[in-house]
């Protein structure tokens, strides 16, 4: 049954947020039921080229724009003067604000059911184990918890993080949420195979929620077993830490444990189920709240609508505290382009300062995140609203993939193949669509008005374009954004299926010397421009010449790499700091999985070490930057289903 709050037919403009990359018609993002009143087409047309003005509300934009959204959590050092005392597991300072402050399910069984009037259900890990083993761990995540690294050496450590032995002070529960899946409202979803242990508050006052994924059934498991396999768990563990290494906001992973028990999985839903090793990942984040956490309660009408407000208040208090005491006088009006009244008065909404500011920050964090994905070629694969973090973190690593050969229509998800809704090029527009769904419950709970919801979406578009243009400018080592130059580059890369990561890394080797002979222009890029014919070679020479010498923007100002005044070595270092040498290609995951399934975990640990420093050269590790071998293009490696 469709939800009772307005759910969304987002009418995307004819030109989209990323017209250079969009291979698909905008209709591919249209969901099934019902229609939400969204901004008129002329407003969304302006989203990428206007900067709206919000008078007297700078604090709403600042945290989401920079300090709060631009960096993942900072790791503390491993010791030294002033370092916090390292803790053993029994000393972890647990808090349980989510359970304490929000309504819970009165039942404690795991029978699949609709859980009404509650944000969570109390459950305990129930996965069976047999001599569980520690596959891999992250010292930097242990630092976030003030956890002594020696704890990983404890013989009973795998027992704790397989859920077989409860951690002292933990209070496990599964969260209730809903979501749109592939554009269609799916109703209640929830933590079907993830169980939160509670929140650890470290010595710096930071709150970190620990969650075991794959540790057994919950009321939200429906007809599944609540378990996870080693294959998918290795992928999630490695990508969580690889994204952190890239500087992209993400959930983290403390450790990965093999349970010693088998799990039956049908990877491609084709009737060929088989036994695979079971595993459990301990995921770590300030919170695992999603867009769907608010949607589910609004979808149930008046009886649960107050929970939306309670959950919003909880979220702001614990995760957006800089907004908590914002008053309506701090956000009186904003200017936009809606109908005949360009100025929207907020004084009629006594909550506008607090809740509108929060919604704007969520939108801007989301825009920042997706712009960063586009910069490194990351494709999430399943951008349903239940997989969208309200904190702007990359969350739920399933059939993800990084671009190898540049293909804007690439999707790593076999389930997504018919329409490619979640392909690489569509991610910015899907983000906007999902923000529209997020604002629906807030409107239903009368926390923001429809005009304010429209403004939130406008801020998403502006933030995305600002961040994307900044990222692409840095990737090319330019001082100003050059749309024509970047458009032609991406077009050339798509035609010749150029490796996205390796090309940008090699581009820093091009010298800003207009006197380079034509037959030598492509030498620095030779390793990326493989097997191109004469005609395509000429196209690339033309682009490199333009890149070196000049290119004109829409107002005909001339930008020259050679005139930037930045020495080649300095420019190379700057470009290499934003163009990684190493990314977690799917074939690297699969190579680690293959040996881990035989009991050898060293390759998982080696890949983890490489991905912690993806921008460094790392002599001796060059094989991890190689192009995918032929076997990497088979299903199950380059593409996966949503199945675990």
User: Which pair of structure tokens corresponds to residue 291?
Assistant: 């867009």
The pair phi, psi for residue 84, each rounded to 5°, is -65, 155
Give the separation between CA 211 and CA 214, rounded to whole angstroms: 10
Catalytic site includes residue 386 = yes
CA distances in angstroms from 341 to 47, 333, 337, listed in the order given: 17, 12, 7
DSSP 526: T
Nearest to residue 180, comparing CAs of 421, 376, 473, 525?
Answer: 421
3-state secondary structure of 432: helix
**Dihedral angle computed from the Cα positions of residues 252, 456, 463 and 431, in that order, rounded to the nearest 10 degrees:** 50
Burial grade of 600 (CB within 10 A; 0-12, 13-18, 19 or more): exposed
**Phi–psi pair at 586, nearest 5 degrees:** -60, -35
Q: Which is it for strands 173-175 and 120-122: parallel, antiparallel or unpaired?
A: antiparallel
Cβ atoms within 10 Å of 107's Cβ, excluding its own:
14
What's the DSSP call for residue 463? Answer: H
Q: What distance in Å separates the CA atoms of residue 551 and residue 556, rounded to the nearest whole number?
A: 9
Tell me if 517 sits within 8 A of 540, measured CB to CB: no
Q: Would you state the structure tokens that stand for residue 617, as one six-digit string? A: 């050269």
Q: Which of 386, 396, 416, 429 is catalytic?
A: 386
Question: What are the b/e assignments for 151-172, b being 16+ CB within 10 Å?
Answer: bbeeeebbbbbbbbeebebbbb
- Tell me how far apart the alpha carbons of residues 311 and 98 are, in angstroms, rounded to a whole number: 9
- List of residues 6+ apart from 400 with CB closer than 8 A: 235, 239, 378, 379, 380, 381, 412
Can you say how many angstroms the Cα of residue 382 is from the centroid of all Cα atoms in its chain?
10
Between the CA atoms of 470, 579, 541 and 483, what dihedral angle is there, to the nearest 10 degrees?
-10
> 621 near 153, Cβ under 8 Å?
no
Q: Are 393 and 209 in contact (CB under 8 A)?
A: no
Q: Is the dihedral of CA 572, 574, 579, 582 positive or negative?
A: positive
Which sequence positions are flagged as catalytic? 386
């Amino acid at each position: 049954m469709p939800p009772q709050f307005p759910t969304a037919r987002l009418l995307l403009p004819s030109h989209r947020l990323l017209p250079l990359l969009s291979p698909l018609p905008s209709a591919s993002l249209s969901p099934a039921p019902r229609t939400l009143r969204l901004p008129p087409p002329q407003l969304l047309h302006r989203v990428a080229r206007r900067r709206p003005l919000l008078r007297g509300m700078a604090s709403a934009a600042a945290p989401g724009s920079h300090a709060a959204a631009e960096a993942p959590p900072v790791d503390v050092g491993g010791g030294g003067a002033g370092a916090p005392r390292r803790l053993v597991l029994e000393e972890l300072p647990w808090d349980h604000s989510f359970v304490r402050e929000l309504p819970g399910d009165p039942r404690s069984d795991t029978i699949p059911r609709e859980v009404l009037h509650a944000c969570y259900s109390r459950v305990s890990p129930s996965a069976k184990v047999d001599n569980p083993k520690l596959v891999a761990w992250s010292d930097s995540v242990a630092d976030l918890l003030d956890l002594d690294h020696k704890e990983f050496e404890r013989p009973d450590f795998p027992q704790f993080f397989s859920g077989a032995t409860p951690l002292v002070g933990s209070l496990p529960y599964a969260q209730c949420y809903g979501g749109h899946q592939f554009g269609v409202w799916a109703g209640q979803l929830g933590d079907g195979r993830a169980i939160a242990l509670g929140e650890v508050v470290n010595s710096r006052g930071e709150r970190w929620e620990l969650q075991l994924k794959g540790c057994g059934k919950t009321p939200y498991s429906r007809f599944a077993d609540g378990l996870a396999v080693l294959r998918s768990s290795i992928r999630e563990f490695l990508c969580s830490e690889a994204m952190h290494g890239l500087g992209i906001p993400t959930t983290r992973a403390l450790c990965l444990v093999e349970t010693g028990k088998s799990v039956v999985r049908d990877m491609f839903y084709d009737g060929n189920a088989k036994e695979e090793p079971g595993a459990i990942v301990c995921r770590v984040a300030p919170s695992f709240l999603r867009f769907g956490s608010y949607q589910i309660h609004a979808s149930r009408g008046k009886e649960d609508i107050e929970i939306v407000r309670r959950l919003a208040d909880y979220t702001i208090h614990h995760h957006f505290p800089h907004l908590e005491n914002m008053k309506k006088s701090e956000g009186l009006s904003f200017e936009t382009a809606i109908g005949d009244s360009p100025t929207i008065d907020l004084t009629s909404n006594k909550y506008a300062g607090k809740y509108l500011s929060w919604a704007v920050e969520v939108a801007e964090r989301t825009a920042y995140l997706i712009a960063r994905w586009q910069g490194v070629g990351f494709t999430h694969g399943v951008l349903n609203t239940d997989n969208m973090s309200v904190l702007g973190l990359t969350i739920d690593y399933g059939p993800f993939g990084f671009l190898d050969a540049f293909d804007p229509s690439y999707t790593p998800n076999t389930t997504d193949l018919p329409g490619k809704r979640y392909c690489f090029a569509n991610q910015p527009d899907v983000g906007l669509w999902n923000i529209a769904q997020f604002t629906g419950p807030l409107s239903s709970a009368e926390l923001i008005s429809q005009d304010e919801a429209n403004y939130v979406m406008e801020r998403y578009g502006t933030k995305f374009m600002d961040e994307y243009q900044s990222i692409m400018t840095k990737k090319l080592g330019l001082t100003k954004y050059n749309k024509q130059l970047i458009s032609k580059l991406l077009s050339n890369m798509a035609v010749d299926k150029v490796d996205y990561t390796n090309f940008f890394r090699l581009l820093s080797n091009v010298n800003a010397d207009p006197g380079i002979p034509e037959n030598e222009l492509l030498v620095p890029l030779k390793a990326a421009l493989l097997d191109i014919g004469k005609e395509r070679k000429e196209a690339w020479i033309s682009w490199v010449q333009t890149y070196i010498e000049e290119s004109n923007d829409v107002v005909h100002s001339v930008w020259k790499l050679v005139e930037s005044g930045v020495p080649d070595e300095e420019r190379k270092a700057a470009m290499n700091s934003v163009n990684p040498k190493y990314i977690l290609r799917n074939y690297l995951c699969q190579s680690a999985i293959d040996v881990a399934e035989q009991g050898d975990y060293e390759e998982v640990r080696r890949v983890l070490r490489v991905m912690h420093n993806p921008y460094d050269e790392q002599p001796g590790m060059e094989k991890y930057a190689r192009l995918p071998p032929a076997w990497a293009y088979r299903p199950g490696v380059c593409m996966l289903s949503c199945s675990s």
